[in-house]
Structure 1
Amino acid sequence: MSLQQFQMCIGGEWTNAISGNTFDSLNPATGEAWAQFPDASAEDVNRAVEAADTAFRSAEWRSLTPTARGKLLRKLGDLIAANTETLAQLESTDNGKLIRETRGQVSYLPEFFYYTAGLADKIEGETLPLDKQDMLAYTIREPLGVVAAIIPWNSPLYLTAIKVAPALAAGNTIVLKPSEHASATLIELVKLAEQAGIPKGVINVVTGYGPSTGAALTSHPKVRKIAFTGGAATARHVIRSSAENFAKLSLELGGKSPQIVFPDADLDSAVNGIVAGIFAASGQSCVAGSRLLVHKDVYEQVINALVERASRIKIGNPQADESEMGPMATAQQLAVVESFVERAQAEGARLRLGGKRPDVDQGWYYEPTIFECSSNADYLMQEEVFGPVAAVIPFETEEEALAMANDSQYGLAAGIWTRDIARAHRVARDVHSGIIWVNTYRVVSAMGSIGGFKSSGYGRESGIDSVLEYTERKTVWINLSSEPMADPFVMR
């Protein structure tokens, strides 16, 4: 079978790697190669960054008013809406995500571009209330320059949109580096950006591996901002790379998000929310609610209902509408999941469901898996699996639940299940996470910020402040006095 061929976009030109090297992308549902991409070297990365820098300084881009930039983003949103099915099918093929989920994500993506388009001409400075009457001082916000965006394989289009939209709204240019496991949809997004009229070189994409392509991009001296989504281990390399160029950083990293079920909760709704939190996207989500803290009075009821509901999840071809869980995105991630399950069993966790691959002929599938743990210190309770593995533990008091929820290196998201509105507000206030869902889970909006505490990263994406992450503040001083300057050796 011939492989579908993709090229990189550098300075508006579609190109292969200078070396001619390529790599194959494997379909997670079959384990077979389906597409081929250029393997970019440091020389290719340099070309892309230089093209982005040239575009940033060009009259064509810099002369656009913020309102005009917003109109380009709106047009790009329209084109994404018009190509929803093509993009959804491509992403499902590339990373194994369910077609019903990729359709849902892609159909909502235009909202991020529409919302951010409206923010483009709302980036304001301020006049400072000085203690010097002969001076006027004001601030302005300016774009940073070249942005490097590092995108993971689990939701590439969505995680690109929440970086590209605010970066361009603020007036920056960008170089995208997708995961080597899921590069196709980012390339198609750049083609749509061209159709929208975004000038050449404003959005570039280079494909390749993290240790080579990614490292060359994040350490490049002309990169002024790095927006990274991925794991903590890779983030440490990104932080070290940024020491070479002092680029600003925003990091959206992993999580071990707790879902706390109180005895007064709507238990049917809570079980559905738990299923959504850990088994949707086969658990391959940074906000996966994989740590279940259930009050002892309803513990048996909840875990039995969860086991029953999860046992009915339909595992199958991600492009089949009836499938509810698809494969792991990579063979490596499947091996990681298996190693977690083996360790949990060796440490004495009680397996209630799953714990093995399903009986399928091909692909990287794994069954929905549920463990009962004896301690919040257990490895499975503390470490991110990034797969369909839930760890469950009982608690007795609200204080105990909070202590366990916060006893984690992560702080990205949390779910709270209760009908007590006072308790909902108390717990939402006291849980150390950047996103709190009450009586729901895994909800996003263009208006809601995304980001974590502790080892889950820093900086925020989406929401009204997202554009400011891609600007720097400048203070301007104006001398209003007609008098000549006084003593030049004394600071005013």
Structure 2
Amino acid sequence: MKLADLIEQHSEKLAMLDAIDAGKLVHMTAALDIQFALRVARYYAGAADKIHGDTLKCAGEFQAYTLKEPVGVVGHIIPWNFPTLVFAFKVPPALAAGCTVVVKPAEQSPLSALYLAQLAKEAGVPDGVINVVPGFGPTAGAAIASHMDIDAVSFTGSTEVGKIVMGAAAASNLKSVSLELGGKSPLIIFDDADVDVAAQVDKEQFEKILRYIESGKREGASILIGGNAIGDKGYYIEPTIFTDVQEDMLIARDEIFGPVMSIMKFKTIEEAIEKANNTRYGLAAGVVTKDLNTANRISRSIRAGMIWINCFLVIDGDIPFGGVRMSGFGKDCGLEGLEKYLKVKSVITPIYGSPWL
């Protein structure tokens, strides 16, 4: 709670750091990312004294119960795009569970993690409980994933790097792994919706997005709007919408991570479900409809970790966030985000008067 209070007190500075590092808008980061991080920290502060096991029913002359104990040392590898927010997704629940943490922020955006560690020290978190190790993925990130004294690793990033993290965890000490990876989240619109998009990216991502746009043109999709770089300073791309998109096109299959939307038509609910599930990802999906039966059918039929009905990108501290299939496994936020930092121990004892005593 003290750390949350300090985050609130220094919210403008944290927003500035994320703006400097990640190119985010200061006022939006302060109003959205930092405020959300506050809610998540306070949520897990409230959960810290509510961790308990179960009393079990046993056959024979025994009684048993479970204990939930900290998994141990947790390595957190966080992405560049939401530095403060993902720190809050991962560190507070691990601390509430009783774990110590080693945080590897993205090399592009380490400043807010370092500042949050300083605030944690001011809040009274003991030395050695929160450790921030800036560095590159192939060195610092790889060290966390393969370290024999780290008991669990939580990674948010690309599917390709998630596979490397999981392999390193298995090859070292079989540490537990949770992965929040890429996504290709469909938004299924049934007759009544509007959409708008915009973004800025770095040079490498900028060139990657332009390659996807060229791929869409080459494979036969039509550009409705956009499709070009903007200006001669920075790395800006016009909001781009493709029509006449087929499911086997790269722009329909891959996570582009830029302001590019692919529009595909459908005639029936069955066709919409089939198109939405025709992806290797499964992070999230949305449906826009006034028909409750349609909404319920879609939400139960699409293979994804989150479904938004008549809204999109709504997340909160008590809503588990995470995907399925190649979007990863394990959840951030909610009680599920706490459980992954706990291990269950079973305790069995003979009852009074049994021959075992």
Q: Same fold (TM over 0.5)?
A: yes
In the alignment, is residue 346 of structure 1 matched against residue 218 of structure 2?
yes
Residue in structure 1 matched with residue 84 of structure 2 by the alignment: 157
How far is 1:415 from its partner? 1.1
The aligned runs of 1:92-241 (5 Å cut-off) are 92-103=19-30, 104-132=32-60, 134-241=61-168
1:332-386 deviations in Å (ceiling 9; x for gaps) = 1112111111111111111122212101x42222111111133122111111001
Match of 2:16 in 1: 89
Establish whether residue 414 from structure 1 lines up as the match of residue 285 from structure 2. yes
- Aligned pair partner of 1:438 in 293, 296, 309: 309
1:65-84 → structure 2 map (5 Å cutoff): 74-84=1-11
> In 1, are the aligned partners of 2:142 and 2:165 still within 8 Å (CA)?
yes
Superimposed CA distance per residue, residues 141-180 of structure 1 (whole angstroms, 9 cap, x where no aligned partner): 0001110000011111111111101100000000000111
Aligned Cα root-mean-square deviation (Å): 1.4
Would you say 1:479 and 2:350 are equivalent positions? yes
Amino acid in the other structure paired with 1:235: G
Q: Render the CA deviation track for 1:382-418: whole Å, top value 9, x for unaligned.
A: 1100111111111111110011001110111111100
Counterpart residue type for residue 303 of structure 2: H
Check the 8 A contact 1:257/1:414 in 2, yes or no.
yes
Structure 2 counterparts to residues 29-44 of structure 1, below 5 A:
none
Counterparts of 2:313 and 2:353 in 1: how far apart (Å)? 60
| Cα deviations by residue, 1:428-479 (Å, 9 ceiling, x for unpaired) | 1111111111111111111111010111100111012221110000001112
The partner residue of 2:340 within 446, 449, 469 is: 469
Report the equivalent of 2:244.
373
SS in 2 for 1:449: coil
Q: Find the aligned partners of 1:217 and 1:338 in 2 and give their Cα distance.
A: 34
- Cα distance in 2 between the residues matched to 1:345 and 1:453: 30
- What is the distance in 2 between the residues matched to 1:406 and 1:483? 56
Give the counterpart letter for 2:166 in structure 1: I
CA–CA distance in 1 between the matches of 2:340 and 2:245?
Answer: 42
Deviation at 1:485, TM superposition (A): 4.7
The structure-2 alpha-carbon separation of the partners of 1:393 and 1:136, relative to structure 1 and needing over 3 Å to count, comes to same
Query: Is the Cα contact below 8 Å between 2:180 and 2:330 reproduced in 1?
Result: yes
| Residues paired across the two proteins, number | 355
Give 1:75 shift: 1.0
Report the 3-state secondary structure (helix = DSSP H, G, I; strand = E; otherwise coil) of the residue aligned with 2:125.
coil
Bigger Rg, structure 1 or 2: 1
> What residue in structure 2 maps to residue 333 of structure 1?
205
Matched residues in 1 for 2:70 and 2:52: separation?
Answer: 12
Check whether the contact 1:402–1:431 (CA below 8 A) recurs between aligned residues: yes
CA distance in 2, matches of 1:355, 1:438: 29
1:225-267 per-position Cα deviation (integer Å, ceiling 9, x unaligned): 100000000001101110112111110001000011102x3x3
Gaps of 5+ in 2: none
Q: 1:373 and 1:121 mapped to 2: Cα distance?
A: 54
Q: 1:373 touches 1:381 (CA, 8 Å); kept in 2?
A: no
8 Å contact kept, 2:144–2:153: no
Q: Counterparts of 1:214 and 1:465 in 2: how far apart (Å)?
A: 24
CA contact (8 A) 2:350 2:356 kept: no
For residues 167 and 336 of structure 2, the distance between their equivalents in structure 1, rounded to whole angstroms, comes to 26
Deviations 1:47-80 (A, max 9, x none): xxxxxxxxxxxxxxxxxxxxxxxxxxx1111111
Deviation at 1:121, TM superposition (A): 1.1
Report the Cα distance in structure 2 between the residues aligned to 1:141 and 1:79, rounded to whole angstroms. Answer: 29
Alpha carbons 2:287, 2:310 under 8 Å: kept = yes
Matches within 5 A, 1:280-295: 282=199
**For residues 46-61 of structure 1, what are the structure 2 equivalents within 5 Å?**
none
Q: Counterpart amino acid of 1:217?
A: I
Paired AA for residue 38 in structure 2 = P
Distance 1:105 1:125 in 2: 33
Distance of 2:286 and 2:353 partners within structure 1: 62
| CA distance in 1: counterparts of 2:189 and 2:285, whole angstroms | 11
TM-score computed with the length of structure 1 as normaliser: 0.70
CA positional deviation for 1:484: 5.7
1:482 Cα deviation after fit? 5.1
Instruction: Report the secondary structure of 1:410's partner residue.
Output: coil
Check the 8 A contact 1:261/1:416 in 2, yes or no.
yes
Aligned twin of 1:402: 273
Q: Check the 8 A contact 2:245/2:262 in 1, yes or no.
A: no
Q: Is the 2:253–2:279 contact (alpha carbons within 8 Å) kept by the matching residues of 1?
A: yes
Q: Write the distance in 2 (CA, Å) between the matches of 1:218 and 1:374.
A: 39
Which position in structure 2 is the counterpart of 1:46?
none
Secondary structure of the equivalent of 2:252?
helix
Say yes or no: does 1:261 pair with 2:189. Answer: yes
Cα distance in 1 for partners of 2:243, 2:29 equals 31
Identity %: 40
